[in-house]
Structures are given as structure tokens and as C-alpha cells.
Amino acid sequence: MAIRLVVDSGSDLLKQVAEERNIEIVPLKVAFGEETFTDGVDIDHDLFYKKMKESAHIPMTSLPSPQDFVDVFTRIGTEHEIICITISAATSGTYQSAKIAAETLPDHKITLVDSMNISMATGALALKASEMVDSGATSEAIVATLTEMKQDMHTFIAINDWTNVIKGGRVSNWKGSLAQALNIKPTLYLTREGEIHVKDKARGRSRQLANVVNFIKETGKDINGGTIYMLHSMAPQAELDRVESGLRATFNPKDVVIYRLGPIMGSHGGFGTIGFVV
């Protein structure tokens, strides 16, 4: 039985890459006030960042319904095994929606994988699964590999602007405003349980980004010849170039893949955020 892969759009897997790899994407939604958009359907990266710049409302995200997953699972059909990889259940109800959907389709063989991470840490799992599908691996072997792989995925999120964090209610107005005034830059990370915690609060952007390089070192992961993902919310190109040079000099990766965060992850960090996935 052939295997098909499903992810949610919080994985930040680029649409064209998903199409090339025959990976289905179940979209989350993003709203600016009363205007609601479906990620990758009626809003793309360009429109999202334009709206975030111009709108009086900060973007708010919502998860897919179980029916959204049912629609994708039934379109794939019972003639395929399905492996569905979602962003962390500890940060989003997306996994639960997929679980409810799978339970309503007993004739489908559906395996759910909680990536226990977000953004391209989830996307990287999907890409690995796609490689294994192409090589003829069984679903059991793929899930076993993903289970091992996700324990050694590391995500750090360097927040530059507190505006979305404050207005989204993730930190109180007075604390966020004080931190902004003092030029405090928080760095977040994903725990092994898939939760988002504060790793560091640095004084100034340069120190923050230098600290991230040290945090990556502290993971002990051998990235020599590997891939580092840098996803950002319209960070300045000069800053991205400088950080990329530092990463290459320090870790000697084969690739540093840089592109913009999608609407879902871009909503939470706000302008200037850079996410690092190794």
C-alpha cells in the first residue's frame, strides 16, 4: 500500500516543495480583525506581511477543524496509508483535530506523528519522511525514524519586536513595554515536551543573535555537512547575511536555508523575528 504524507501549514513547508514531494498541507487560518484568511489558499507570504504592516489589528491564528483533516484524508482515500505530521500538541490543538478526524475514518490507515516542535522542525520531519517514502520504506520504519529524529531537533526563536507578543496577550502590556524600552530581546526555544519557553533575555539584538549561536553549540548536535534553517519575519537582509556567515564559520553546514516565516508562525513573533532550526 502506497504511503501519502500530510502536514499542517504551521510546518512552514513551502507550497512548491510540498507539491514536488506530493505532501498534502492542511491550512491553519489567520485573521486581521474581522477578516479571516486560509493560509496558503487566499493569503500568501506577500499579502500576509503587507496586511501585518498596514492593518490596525495584529494577526490572530486559529487551528484547522477536524473536518479540514477529514477532507484531506478522504481525498487521499483508503488505497493509501497516511502519515500525518503536525506541529506540537503542546502549542496547538492541530494534533487533536487530526486525531478526531482519524477516529472518524476507521477504514483509513492513518498514523499521527506529533512533531513536538514547530515551523521547519516539523517541515524537516516531513521532508525526511518523503525521502523514505521514495526509497520504499514502510510506514513503521518511517515513524520510528521520525520518533528518533524529533528528539534531536532544536528550535530557537529570536524575537526582535515585542508588539505582537504584547497585543496577542502572551505577555502583559507593562512588562512588554518596559522590555521594549530597555532594548531587551527575548529568545524562545522548544522543550523536549514540545512547549515554548524563554531561553534568554539579551540586551540588544547583536548580543541576542550571538547568544543563539552559543545555544546551538550547547545542543551538542553535529551540524557539519548538515542543514540549518533560518526562517524570518522580514528581518533586514544585512542582518540575515551576517548571521548566515557566522553560522557557516562556526558549524560548517552544507546548507543554510533562509526564507520567510509563513503567516501562522509569522503572526506570533512579529516583524524581525528569526527562527533557527537545526
For residue 169, pLDDT beyond 60:
no
Residue 233 to residue 272: CA distance in whole angstroms: 5
Residue 202 to residue 189: CA distance in whole angstroms: 14
Instruction: State pLDDT tens for residues 199-237.
Output: 999 999 999 999 999 999 999 999 999 999 999 999 999
Residue 140 to residue 1: CA distance in whole angstroms: 13
The CATH code of domain 155-277 reads: 3.30.1180.10
Is the C-alpha dihedral spanning 158, 162, 165, 168 positive or negative?
Answer: negative
Residue 234 to residue 273: CA distance in whole angstroms: 8
Is the C-alpha dihedral spanning 104, 105, 111, 115 positive or negative?
Answer: negative
Long-range contacts of residues 137-142, Cβ cutoff 8 Å, at least 24 apart? 139/3, 139/81, 139/83, 139/109, 139/111, 142/3, 142/83
Residue 183 has phi, psi (to 5 degrees) of 60, 35
CA-based diameter of the chain, in Å?
58
Reading the block at residue 150, the C-alpha cell is 524529533
Domain with CATH 3.30.1180.10 in the chain: 155-277
State the CB neighbour count (10 A cutoff) for residue 30. Answer: 24
Report the chain's terminal Cα–Cα distance, integer Å: 32
Reading the block at residue 265, the C-alpha cell is 508562525
Domain 2-28+63-151 bears CATH identifier 3.40.50.10170: yes
CA 31 to chain centre: 18
* Closest by Cα among 189, 219, 214, 231 to 88: 189
For residue 173, pLDDT beyond 80:
no
Side-chain half-sphere of 220: how many Cα atoms within 13 Å? Answer: 2
Residue 231 to residue 12: CA distance in whole angstroms: 9
Instruction: State pLDDT tens for residues 244-278.
Output: 999 999 999 999 999 999 999 999 889 999 999 99
Report pLDDT for 260. Answer: 98
Confidence band of 183 (pLDDT split at 50, 70, 90):
confident
DSSP label at residue 57: S
Domain with CATH 3.40.50.10170 in the chain: 2-28+63-151
pTM for this predicted structure: 0.93
98 close to 112: Cβ distance less than 8 angstroms: yes
Report pLDDT for 226. Answer: 97
* Closest by Cα among 164, 154, 119 to 264: 119
Alpha-helical regions (H) of the chain:
15-21, 45-54, 66-76, 94-103, 119-134, 139-149, 163-167, 173-181, 205-218, 237-251, 263-269
Express as a percent the part of the chain with pLDDT over 90.
90
- Please report, for residues 22, 42, 133, 246, 247, the alpha-carbon distance to residue 16 in angstroms, rounded to integers and kept in the order given: 10, 16, 18, 29, 26
